A and B are shown apart, each in its own frame.
Chain A
């Protein structure tokens, strides 16, 4: 066949009149009415209807899969798991693109290629996600939901391309989205979730037989984006290359593969070009470089230790995965072994097994989100092998049937086993609010800490605090204190220049890795604490005089307050109920409150219901007072409440209350976290 302008015999144009050269037609061009002009633009609704009818069977399976995945991802998205430092970092970097026009919130140092968080920034920029959430990380988590749902659709198409039945394709999609292991990692802001979408897209295109040149070019582009989103996805290159080689038509392979590999090299070259344009390719004094960044990832990463060492990092990581969904892990690996015997699935099986083996290489570094790359393929293999076992049952021989029956039995047991397991885990994901301590700590800092304070924080709250009015320079991601000379330069006196350090699990996990942060923490005292165990978040105040001095001062202050409080407790005009007397006598009531009570008691009778503790502050000095009556008039009456409110509102100067409010039958006055020194002799107060 040759390419033709027209199909033979169809819509032929008028032929020139033979033998009449003189009557030269201006061109027999009225062919436009013949075919070109025929209106193809049918009613769009009719076309949609046709599309839906044509794909109804697929849509019946795909749409519920996507909806179920979306629900599982979205419900309680902000509550569980607790957001972690990495999430905050990618969020802050994405936010920095929109807010500052910079690639990162700190100097970009080529630790990861930036394409991943650029996509998060694109999502949040297009949807305005950062405006929709108080917690910036949740905007990025919403982007993760989007990427995950796209990935679910791609898993479906990939399954169909591999000739899965529709139910099997739907199960692959569901496993990919709903396994607790998947939920944990797909909800977290990990660049791997973005890379997964591009990798799946690349594989789908690499399996395309039509328009192969464009498909392969697109595949290479997608894979390039995957690798530039998360560099570990380069591990999938052999898989992709093999699939392309196997799919490529022999006649055009020379060109399709040439174009695909040049596209891939060029996308990688784009990253090099970034460094080139910024003049940061080779290492140099006082500057970051691509070389250093790559060297860090390849060489400087500390080994995750040995699997045989129960305390090693790799064991902790594996333990975390295992705890989330042991059945999925076992089934995935078993399916990978079984899939070695299925031609279409073999490359994926080898990929999963190789990547699993790769984790255990001696001296290797195992990133916690490494598993994300494996989840879609494990899901595909589980569904694919099971589908295969059912569908080839009739064709197989005696031994084949035994194998198939064994596999189906294993799957059935697994399906039973996951019911209680998943129920428990998914209940946790859908109901537990593990992030509450983070929000409470942020809230506490935002309402109690002066805006010019210097804070060392987990990146998970960086954007929130900067948005709350803290200066970008004053909110320091703890990681940078020990690693970024520019940040260290803003703290010439080291930890003594820090006012608060807010500690999270990730900051407590590696105390030795960050000596300066550890020293800062060591010289600080907890002023507010939220949550417990691994979700605990502490707000710690740093005293530039050191911990010993702080403790001595605190003791002296308590003694002084105790003395003053005991005296005040004897004032006949003051009625103390409940624990308030003992608190007063123990020196646990703020000197401003004592001063105000003493002053008022000169002229009035006051009843104090309590000195309530502020949320998160544990057994700290009470800076709240609950007044229940004044001059015998209970504050439950309007008159009494007004009187008490007027009095407390009227406090001014250093003794002023920061808030006075109606609290049921009582009036509650709250004083700021900073107790002034010297209001009562011997009380050293607090800096800030």
Chain B
């Protein structure tokens, strides 16, 4: 409580006034200057904050650091989201999924096919592959097996098969040095007689009705190139084969269709069918490129060829993953390096629109971007949790995790679907491997990407071939059984014999 003020002293007269004495009030002395100012509330805006978007109070270092974090997070998110979108493209709605399929019924054949099967140290699997190819229901085709002059074992197997099907199979010997797949294909092209050239690998398990369906596809769509589905099968061999199998599944089932739609498509190495005139135009395959299949696709796309992709689970070409982790590593290095070569060669610059060129550049860089993303996402999150950064920025760096997690969820769904389609129900442990393998596989991809860049810079252009053991094959079943298969169910493949890879599984031709 305030005690009586100085007025008591200054004007004692009226302050002591009492009841019935009006006098003092009638004769007060004027109050003198007060000791304290009167309490007059004045608006005071000093303490109030004005509403508006003000910039945070950071140092230059913080600005740079935080901006970098945000930019990296945005970049990673964009890459991860596009990868995810491409991966799920086929399932974006029901009509697009049905558009990815082969027709249910083949129509009357009109083309003559030449099937090229280059084989190198493939005596274990080649014979079966050729026999099975010979059972194609299409009435008009030939098979050319190309073997190396230094590989008598494979040559023998090929010649035995040719003897079994003299009217269908021819064997030619490639004596070029060093050898690689595009050279073998180019050689065979010179003696081929079909108006559509198809390529298969020595270990491929091809559905007997495939050629009829491809023929129909050419006719229905007026395609210049038809890329059929290829599927690795042995997902239960190891944790990385599981991931490798799923990569193939999403690539052929979905992502390639997206590339086809965007008119820029790296073709696959087999189950690819090209019209003769386009191969003549392209001078066959580029013998100097480590990813001759991708390169051809880029050149044909750039020239405006009509490339059609079709995937029906029941007629996919079945393959196996490379036998060892090392050979998968070398295979991936080769592909990545091939992509780099295609990027460097610049054929894609002939694409008509800026948009397509940008897309091509992005796509060809994708193996590297994707590898970086896989590594940086966990790293950045650990970094943020350890280092103290402002909450909104910390939250922002979690953003790339969103597409990453959705990708894993979609892969889980994909594995279930794969199991259902191909009659091999995944076990619980497979799902565990799938999830736990996510990050190690990204490390692996990043390693292969780095190695590819390194080799390319060094000018090392040698061909590291992938060996095959037949792990995708049903050991009991001969390959020649499917003529009357109706295109509904998938052929069950019961055993997954994962034969150990041969000692000299890869070679270096140079």
Contact = CB atoms under 8 A, between A and B. Distances in A.
B38 A656 contact: yes
Interface in A466-487: 466-472
B281 A655 contact: no
What secondary structure prevails in chain A residues at the interface with B? loop
A469 B44 contact: yes
Nearest to A553: B1
A223 to B, nearest CB: 15
B248 interface: no
A21 B281 contact: yes
B308 A687 contact: no
A211 B96 CA distance: 9
Nearest to A33: B352
B101 interface: yes
A99 B49 contact: yes
Interface string A559-596: 00001100110110100000000000000000000110
B167 interface: no
A658 B32 CA distance: 18
B476 interface: no
A213 B303 contact: no
Contact of B99 (A3, A17, A263): A3
Given A249-B94, A448-B41, A602-B28, A255 B5 contact: no
B199 interface: no
A98 B48 contact: no
Interface string B18-30: 1111100111101
Interface string B143-158: 0000000000000000
A471 B46 CA distance: 9
B477 interface: no
B131 to A, nearest CB: 29
B98 interface: yes
A2 B256 CA distance: 12
A4 B306 contact: yes
Output the residue of B26, B280, B350, B414 with the most chain A CB within 10 A. B26
A547 to B, nearest CB: 15
Contact of B93 (A36, A211, A278, A655): A211
A8 B423 CA distance: 36
Nearest to A30: B352
B47 A251 contact: no
B43 interface: yes
A678 B391 contact: no
A140 B414 CA distance: 46
A interface residue count range (under 10 / 10 to 19 / 20 to 34 / 35 or more): 35 or more
Interface in B333-376: 347, 350-353
Nearest to A262: B409
A595 B13 CA distance: 12
Given A3-B257, A6-B222, A8-B220, A263 B406 contact: yes
A449 interface: yes
B3 A678 contact: yes
B222 A9 contact: yes
A131 B283 CA distance: 71
Contacts of A12: 222, 306
Contacts of A676: 2, 5
Given A252-B91, A266-B406, A658-B40, A2 B17 contact: no
Contact of A28 (B98, B222, B304): B304
Contacts of A564: 17, 25
B93 A677 contact: no
B193 to A, nearest CB: 14
Interface stretch (B52-60, B443-451, B481-489): B52-60
B36 A654 contact: yes
Interface stretch (B171-179, B394-402, B461-469, B492-500): B394-402
B387 to A, nearest CB: 11
Contacts of B53: 98, 125
A277 B397 CA distance: 11
B18 A563 contact: yes
B51 interface: yes
Given A28-B304, A564-B17, A3 B100 contact: yes
Contacts of B31: 595, 599, 652-655
Contacts of A300: none
B334 to A, nearest CB: 26
A130 interface: yes
A21 B26 contact: no
A29 interface: yes
A256 B31 CA distance: 86
A135 B443 CA distance: 57
A679 B412 CA distance: 85
A266 B81 CA distance: 14
A42 interface: no
A101 to B, nearest CB: 7
A469 B40 CA distance: 14
A3 B260 contact: yes
A26 B350 contact: yes
A363 to B, nearest CB: 36
A124 B280 contact: no
B302 A29 contact: yes
B305 interface: yes
Contacts of B401: 266
Interface string A670-683: 00101011111100
B61 interface: no
Interface in A266-286: 266, 270, 273-274, 276-278
A125 B27 CA distance: 62
Contact of B38 (A15, A470, A602, A672): A672
A567 B17 contact: yes
A506 interface: no
B352 A677 contact: no
B41 A450 contact: yes
A398 interface: no
Contact of A101 (B18, B54, B276, B413): B54
Contacts of B410: 255, 258-259, 262
B417 interface: yes
Contacts of B221: 2, 4, 6, 8
Nearest to A103: B391
B422 interface: no
A20 B282 CA distance: 11
Nearest to B40: A658
A361 interface: no
B377 interface: no
B22 A678 contact: no
Nearest to A125: B53
A466 B46 CA distance: 11
Contacts of A2: 99-102, 217, 220-221, 226, 308-310
Contacts of B79: none
B90 to A, nearest CB: 8
Contacts of B36: 654
What 10 A-B pairs have minimum CB-CB distances, sorted nearest first? A678-B4, A653-B34, A16-B281, A249-B94, A13-B304, A32-B352, A8-B222, A567-B22, A469-B44, A99-B49
29 contacts: A1-B103, A2-B100, A2-B102, A4-B260, A8-B220, A13-B303, A18-B277, A18-B280, A32-B352, A99-B49, A100-B49, A101-B54, A101-B56, A213-B92, A255-B91, A256-B91, A262-B409, A449-B41, A451-B47, A567-B22, A573-B26, A595-B14, A595-B31, A654-B7, A677-B1, A678-B5, A680-B17, A687-B1, A688-B39
Interface of B: 1-5, 7-8, 14-22, 25-28, 30-34, 36, 38-54, 56, 88, 91-94, 96-103, 217, 220-223, 226, 257, 260-261, 263, 276-278, 280-281, 283, 299, 301-310, 347, 350-353, 384-385, 391, 394-395, 398, 401-402, 405-406, 409-410, 412-414, 416-417
Interface of A: 1-6, 8-9, 12-21, 24-29, 31-32, 36-37, 95, 98-101, 124-125, 130-131, 209-214, 249-252, 254-256, 258-259, 261-263, 265-266, 270, 273-274, 276-278, 446-451, 466-472, 545, 563-564, 567-568, 570-571, 573, 594-595, 598-599, 601-602, 652-656, 658, 672, 674, 676-681, 684-685, 687-688
